[in-house]
Chains A and B, each alone.
Chain A
Amino acid sequence: MKYALLLLLLAAARLPGKDSCLECHSQMTGDLQAPASAFQSSVHFQHGFTCADCHGGDPNSDDPDASMSKAHGFAGVPPRTAVPKLCARCHSNPNFMRKYNPSERVDQNAEYATSVHGQHLAKGDAAVATCIDCHGIHDIRAARDPLSPVYPLNLPKTCAHCHADAAHMAPYKIPTNQYADYLKSVHWEELSKRGDLSAPNCATCHGNHGAKPPAVSSVAAVCGTCHVFEEQLFDKSPHQPAFAAMSAGTCVVCHSNHAILKTSDQLLGGKNAVCGECHDPDSAGGKTAAQAAGLIQDLQSRIAAADAILEQARTSGIEVSEAILRQTDARQNLVKARANVHAFAIQAVSQPVQAGLAIAAEDYRAGEAALKEKNIRRMGLATSLAAILVTMAGLWLIIRWLHSART
């Protein structure tokens, strides 16, 4: 018994730098070699973990029969259903994780158990995602590593690997168009085109380890983590109780869920306005929507008009920087008015619109004054040119007179 314990200790206490798994498998080919080379780019390898830490066995022995013997705890390929537990051995151990990152969370496995993935796995369905399906198997990288499959830019594709696969999703009877929809969304545009890594990807709304579609009642709260005002306004609006009574998913009713397009004033007014889907144009709601759309449209066109006249003045070399700066305020009122649409009350929209209109009108007047200044300049030029021409005429007459006086 004593000896056995000693043996076990020896096996655990690896000789420094010795890792016979990696040594042998690196020299193999195909499937036996691939894990060895993949593992070397993993965050685990960087921190000094070995194959044996997951697969068991004795990395000190060069004899395959000894190193991969049951006696040394060699487990081989862990079954899919056992993966979360395997990872959790370390990742759910606060004392262990603290050594590597004191602020690292250790509740991933607990969260996973609450996710749709985790619940199916618990029922014995091995086809659902486990840790390795999102994070990779041997080449697990830190989530902040741009090559990691869960890096914000890569995550949508990682989820789509299963969720856009119709065959894979068939048993669960859920749609597979989310990824295609998401690629059309303003969120993906912000993420991929502008490189704003804080723009939402799948996990931002669904959670990562505890991935689950948000309940209808919590949609507004989910969107509200970023769109704070819209949520606050909506909560106080007449739509809130109405949507709740219908068990409608608040924000997504108008903005859709995955294909959240860039909002435009077309949502509010015009032929394709979403308001029209419920509200008759002649009803009170329909009229309010049209009125709000008109107000916003008006402010937008007044701002554009002021912009145009100021640009015209600026390019003719007249100082209008003050007014150009003030245009920012007008524009901010436009942003505010658009956000205030979510209060679904005309007062909330008209207030910033009126403020913005006043500023835009002032700026337009500044532009007009600048163009008047331009005309004054032209008049000055004309006056000076007139004097010049009179002088030239005088000179010409004098020259003519000189000639006639001489001859």
Chain B
Amino acid sequence: MLPIQPSPRRKAIAAWFQDRLAWDSVREFIAHKTVPVHSGTIWYAFGGITLFLFVIQVVTGILLLVYYRPTPSEAYESVQFIVTRVAFGWLIRSIHIWSANLLILSAFVHMISVAFLHAYRKPRELVWLSGIVLLALALGFGFSGYLLPWNTISFFATKVGTDMATFIPWMGSTVGRYLRGGDAVGGATLTRFFGFHVAVLPALTSLFLLFHLGLVQKFGISTPPWVEKRSRGAGTRPPQMPFFPDFFLHELMVWYGALALLGILAAVFPWELGQKADAFASAPAGIRPEWYFLAPFYTLKLIPGHVAGMEGEVVGLLGFGLLAFWWAALPFWGARPDGTVRSKLVTGGAVAFLAYLSTFSLLGYLR
């Protein structure tokens, strides 16, 4: 708590609430929550930033919902209406898009930093796994939200994206139909994506988010093994700082910084709406997905039509499946049964993963 002596009146008000809310247990809990202090403490901020951006997404998303209409004949027009007619509509929409992009970026940073700080190790395997699920859900938000303005680029990106799903062996066509709500991207896809975007995914995300945060509360914030080892050698406890107010104030500062960045991005680089989608028009040149899907998109482009008697796309999807599985299973191959980490293996793996994602995203972007 802040090292100030509260005045008698404040004490009285606090006592009044204490009698009615019984919040001393919460205060107690917060008072004892600590954050490890070491050279990598800064990385702990990214979980919080992601959470904060998620809250912004919820707020701006709900606001957009007031005017948005999820039908092919009205979707584009309603977004246009929001951007041009509704006061500050351009700002709310721009913040929603920019915040979405920053959210995925900060979630990535959070995940990679967790790998490098080895925070996934026992007993936090499920925190890692729920985090992976949350990232997948965030990507699902991005993919479904991209279509909602119903403009040419989003229409064809969705076409390409859902086409990829049809290459999954055996159940490809079923998955494709399931995603699109039919055999082709159309009005059914739009209402379906809308439903996913504003109801199904938020519900799932809330569940997994509660689980993720609950576990973080339960086990506290992980201290990197080398910090633990160093302090064990010195015979002390690893240095900690109180979560409240120290870490929280830092976090608040970072959030405000993120807000300032969002405001600048949204006001100076408002997101273009583009042209209304026309299902019968030919695909415009240079169609590519959002940046966070560029790496798999570009990889699929590079894979030849047929590899070892299988279709290239099938091989690619199989590869991505294995890669995702390998990465999600990190806590299991990255730590020994006794709980110590295979530090070099994980760091090497994470560097390789990061190198693949960044080079292929960049190549996909430059093409």
Where the two chains meet, the residues of A that have a C-beta atom closer than 8 Å to any C-beta of B are 316-319, 321, 377-378, 380-381, 384-385, 388-389, 391-392, 395-396, 398-399, 402, 405-406
- Chain A contact surface mostly: helix
A402 and B263 form a contact (CB under 8 A): no
Query: Which residues of B239-259 are within 8 A (CB) of A?
Result: 245-246, 249-250, 252-253, 256-257, 259
Where the two chains meet, the residues of B that have a C-beta atom closer than 8 Å to any C-beta of A are 2-3, 83-85, 90-91, 245-246, 249-250, 252-253, 256-257, 259-260, 263-264, 267-268, 270
CB within 8 Å for A385 and B260 given contacts A319-B84, A399-B250:
yes
Question: CA separation between A405 and B242, bound complex, in Å?
Answer: 14
B260 and A389 form a contact (CB under 8 A): yes
Contact partner of A392 (CB less than 8 A), chosen from B245, B257, B270, is B257
A395 and B2 form a contact (CB under 8 A): no
Nearest CB on B from A21, distance (A): 50
Q: Which residues of B contact A395 (CB under 8 A)?
A: 249, 252-253, 256
Question: CA separation between A88 and B252, bound complex, in Å?
Answer: 96
A321 and B263 form a contact (CB under 8 A): no
Nearest CB on A from B258, distance (A): 10
CB within 8 Å for A399 and B249 given contacts A392-B257, A405-B3:
yes
Q: Which residues of A contact B250 (CB under 8 A)?
A: 399
B245 and A381 form a contact (CB under 8 A): no
Q: List 24 A-B contacts (CB under 8 A).
A: A316-B270, A317-B83, A317-B84, A318-B84, A321-B84, A377-B91, A377-B267, A378-B267, A381-B263, A384-B263, A385-B260, A385-B264, A388-B260, A388-B263, A389-B260, A391-B256, A392-B256, A398-B245, A398-B249, A402-B3, A402-B246, A402-B249, A405-B3, A406-B3
Q: Which residues of A contact B85 (CB under 8 A)?
A: 319
Q: Which residues of B contact A317 (CB under 8 A)?
A: 83-84, 90, 270
Question: CA separation between A233 and B336, bound complex, in Å?
Answer: 96
Q: Which residues of A contact B264 (CB under 8 A)?
A: 381, 385
A399 and B246 form a contact (CB under 8 A): yes
Q: Which residues of B contact A385 (CB under 8 A)?
A: 260, 263-264
Q: Which residues of A contact B259 (CB under 8 A)?
A: 388
Q: Which residues of B contact A402 (CB under 8 A)?
A: 2-3, 245-246, 249
Which A-chain residue is minimally distant from B93 (CB atoms)? A317
Q: Which residues of A contact B3 (CB under 8 A)?
A: 402, 405-406
Which B-chain residue is minimally distant from A319 (CB atoms)? B84
Which A-chain residue is minimally distant from B250 (CB atoms)? A399
Question: CA separation between A405 and B1, bound complex, in Å?
Answer: 12
Question: CA separation between A378 and B264, bound complex, in Å?
Answer: 9
Nearest CB on A from B256, distance (A): 5
Q: Which residues of B contact A378 (CB under 8 A)?
A: 267
Nearest CB on A from B149, distance (A): 14
Which B-chain residue is minimally distant from A321 (CB atoms)? B84
Question: CA separation between A321 and B84, bound complex, in Å?
Answer: 9
8 other contacts beyond A385-B263, A395-B252, with CB at 8 A cut-off?
A: A317-B83, A317-B90, A378-B267, A381-B268, A392-B256, A399-B250, A399-B253, A402-B249
Q: Which residues of A contact B2 (CB under 8 A)?
A: 402
Question: CA separation between A380 and B91, bound complex, in Å?
Answer: 11
Question: CA separation between A406 and B3, bound complex, in Å?
Answer: 8
Nearest CB on A from B144, distance (A): 24
Q: Which residues of A contact B245 (CB under 8 A)?
A: 398, 402
Question: CA separation between A385 and B265, bound complex, in Å?
Answer: 12
Question: CA separation between A321 and B81, bound complex, in Å?
Answer: 11
Question: CA separation between A384 and B257, bound complex, in Å?
Answer: 12
Question: CA separation between A395 and B245, bound complex, in Å?
Answer: 11
A392 and B253 form a contact (CB under 8 A): yes
Which B-chain residue is minimally distant from A395 (CB atoms)? B253
Question: CA separation between A380 and B85, bound complex, in Å?
Answer: 18
Contact partner of B253 (CB less than 8 A), chosen from A316, A319, A381, A396, is A396
Closest 9 CB pairs of A and B: A319-B84, A381-B267, A317-B270, A317-B90, A395-B253, A388-B260, A405-B3, A392-B256, A399-B249
Question: CA separation between A377 and B270, bound complex, in Å?
Answer: 12
Question: CA separation between A377 and B263, bound complex, in Å?
Answer: 11
Q: Which residues of A contact B263 (CB under 8 A)?
A: 381, 384-385, 388
Which A-chain residue is minimally distant from B90 (CB atoms)? A317
Q: Which residues of B contact A381 (CB under 8 A)?
A: 263-264, 267-268
Q: Which residues of A contact B91 (CB under 8 A)?
A: 377
Q: Which of A319, A378, A380, A391 has the most CB of B within 10 A?
A: A319
Q: Which residues of A contact B260 (CB under 8 A)?
A: 385, 388-389, 392
Q: Which residues of B contact A406 (CB under 8 A)?
A: 3
Nearest CB on B from A56, distance (A): 55
Question: CA separation between A396 and B257, bound complex, in Å?
Answer: 12
Which A-chain residue is minimally distant from B260 (CB atoms)? A388
Question: CA separation between A347 and B3, bound complex, in Å?
Answer: 86
Q: Which residues of A contact B257 (CB under 8 A)?
A: 392
Nearest CB on B from A38, distance (A): 39
Question: CA separation between A168 and B252, bound complex, in Å?
Answer: 92
Question: CA separation between A253 and B260, bound complex, in Å?
Answer: 68
Question: CA separation between A395 and B259, bound complex, in Å?
Answer: 15
Which A-chain residue is minimally distant from B246 (CB atoms)? A402
Question: CA separation between A402 and B248, bound complex, in Å?
Answer: 12
Q: Which residues of B contact A318 (CB under 8 A)?
A: 84
Q: Which residues of A contact B267 (CB under 8 A)?
A: 377-378, 380-381
Nearest CB on B from A407, distance (A): 11
Question: CA separation between A378 and B85, bound complex, in Å?
Answer: 18
Q: Which residues of B contact A319 (CB under 8 A)?
A: 84-85
Q: Which residues of A contact B249 (CB under 8 A)?
A: 395, 398-399, 402
Which B-chain residue is minimally distant from A314 (CB atoms)? B84
Nearest CB on B from A320, distance (A): 9
Q: Which of B253, B257, B259, B264 has the most CB of A within 10 A?
A: B253
Question: CA separation between A112 and B3, bound complex, in Å?
Answer: 112
Nearest CB on B from A333, distance (A): 27
Which B-chain residue is minimally distant from A398 (CB atoms)? B249
Question: CA separation between A316 and B259, bound complex, in Å?
Answer: 21
Question: CA separation between A380 and B252, bound complex, in Å?
Answer: 22
Nearest CB on B from A318, distance (A): 8
Question: CA separation between A276 and B15, bound complex, in Å?
Answer: 98
Q: Which residues of A contact B270 (CB under 8 A)?
A: 316-317
Question: CA separation between A392 and B260, bound complex, in Å?
Answer: 10
Which B-chain residue is minimally distant from A384 (CB atoms)? B263
Q: Which residues of B contact A396 (CB under 8 A)?
A: 253
Q: Which residues of B contact A399 (CB under 8 A)?
A: 246, 249-250, 253
Question: CA separation between A138 and B257, bound complex, in Å?
Answer: 84
Q: Which of B84, B259, B260, B270 has the most CB of A within 10 A?
A: B260
Nearest CB on A from B53, distance (A): 15
Question: CA separation between A319 and B86, bound complex, in Å?
Answer: 10
Question: CA separation between A317 and B86, bound complex, in Å?
Answer: 12
Q: Which residues of B contact A389 (CB under 8 A)?
A: 260
Nearest CB on B from A18, distance (A): 50
Question: CA separation between A318 and B263, bound complex, in Å?
Answer: 17
Question: CA separation between A248 and B83, bound complex, in Å?
Answer: 60
